[in-house]
Amino acid sequence: MTTNSSPQLWLYDTTLRDGTQREGLSVSIEDKLRIAKRLDQLGVPFIEGGWPGANPKDVQFFWQLQEDPLKQAEIVAFCSTRRPNTSTADEPMLQAILAAGTRWVTIFGKSWDLHVTAGLKTTLEENLVMIADTIEFLRSQGRRVIYDAEHWFDGYKQNPSYALQTLEVAIAAGAEWLVLCDTNGGSLPHEVSQVVEVVNSQQSMTKNKGQMTIPQIGIHTHNDSEMAVANALAAVMAGATMVQGTINGYGERCGNANLCSLIPNLQLKLGYSCITEDQLAQLTEVSRFVSEVVNLAPDEHAPFVGRSAFAHKGGIHVSAVERNPLTYEHIQPEQVGNRRRIVISEQSGLSNVLAKARTFGIELDKLKAEAKQILQRLKDLESEGFQFEAAEASFALLMHEALGGRQQFFEIKGFQVHCDLIEGKEDSNALATVKVAVSGKNILEAAEGNGPVAALDAALRKALVNFYPQIATFDLTDYKVRILNGHTGTAAKTRVLVESGNGHQRWTTVGVSTNILEASYQAVVEGLEYGLLLHSQAEAALKV
């Protein structure tokens, strides 16, 4: 818990610049604006928006934020130092930086002599002048400067005196932050600690000489050695007061330091003040929001914010957590906006079933036969290939059925699916016909889709939407197929998981069969049924 006396730590988010360099990740201007505003609400003080001038998208992004500014965060433009043997006044990229209209600018320069001579193909002295000229120019234009010392740790290891010189000229030119970058992601925590301590001691010596100095150091780490978060924590404990990272650890190659892990570690474990407790409780939602906007599946096993971060599967664990959550949870899940989950599988004991039932508002008596029947039914179905660990909605329906309370919204009388494969055409058309009974009335409907499952889903919705208009808000958001016994070839048993949503909630259902269409039908039908169950429960709650 943070208090007024907690040391202040400055968060710097680079999801919109460094994070978008992840392979397979692409965002529109609208996506970037949505993410920026959500990070602003989270309380992140610095949000790096991109490199104005590098592409039209980033130029427009900064222009739009000039028209509709963020509430509290500083939006930061990013750029390199000027090119070798040029003038800052004639440098087009620096003019684009000024046009972005941000108060803060982050400039990166070379710390590693190898990059200066082999990459920039210039002299070590010219590189120092490039750093100084660029920062002095931006300062003369009224900008405040954060200096990212690129490849700092590699450069320091190879040529410490020159690496320190690059920082000295940045300080003298007026940079207000020195951010030490582990750009290749190859450093280890003990190395980071040692080097940050050296920089801190150099800063103290400079200050004692009465020369210009900067008060604060930052850290920017990459995850190529799976050390990004650990290295950032090590830097903070050695004196860094700014931490750069991305939501969900997105970034080039193996990614950047993950702010969704850094923030709770810094705030809950080390006692730093990063954001308010209310904002910290939004962290899980922000993680999932960003993953949705960039169209990447969330990491269900991510620490703190993953769906499985506080999931308990073993019967002994569940029993212990029921008595005291501290037995198997290092923090309260609610502190980061997550929640405890009891996982149901063939390894479950009765305590799992009882605990899971309570999450669905069902109180089971462990002394009565229903609880043991549900457990046995669970184990029987999982031995056939069903997986309720990943399909909790199907398990909820199973419990309602065992207790005699499963509401029958509709009954499937039969279905047919026909596919046309036309030579020379890449796409195939599918036509599904379904016969459904609702309240004793039979409905026959047909619909087309770009595949058999899409057509079946469309036909079911078409048949039911007049009776249940809320179905129009349901979406089939994910569809996964797994072959369970591949050695049997085309006769193999198939498990299908279908994830559905209504804009507010998501749920997953499962189907298993040697016929992939039948397995899909089971999962799709239960997905619709569970969505209708949620709607009816919500309506009942409003009437109370």
Q: pTM for the full model? A: 0.72
* Per-residue model confidence (pLDDT) at position 250: 98
What is the model's pLDDT at position 3?
A: 46
Note the pLDDT of residue 346: 58
- 82 contacts 88 by C-beta, under 8 angstroms: yes
Rounded CA separation 284/310 (Å): 12
Give the number of other CB atoms < 10 A from CB of residue 260. Answer: 24
Strands (E), 335-457: 341-342, 411-420, 429-438, 441-449
Low-confidence ranges of the chain (pLDDT < 70): 1-5, 203-215, 314-316, 318, 344-349, 389, 422-428, 485-491, 544
| pLDDT value, residue 2 | 44
Among 69, 70, 135, 63, residue whose Cα is nearest residue 106: 135
Domains of the chain plus CATH, in order, are 10-275 (3.20.20.70), 311-401 (no CATH), 411-543 (3.30.160.270)
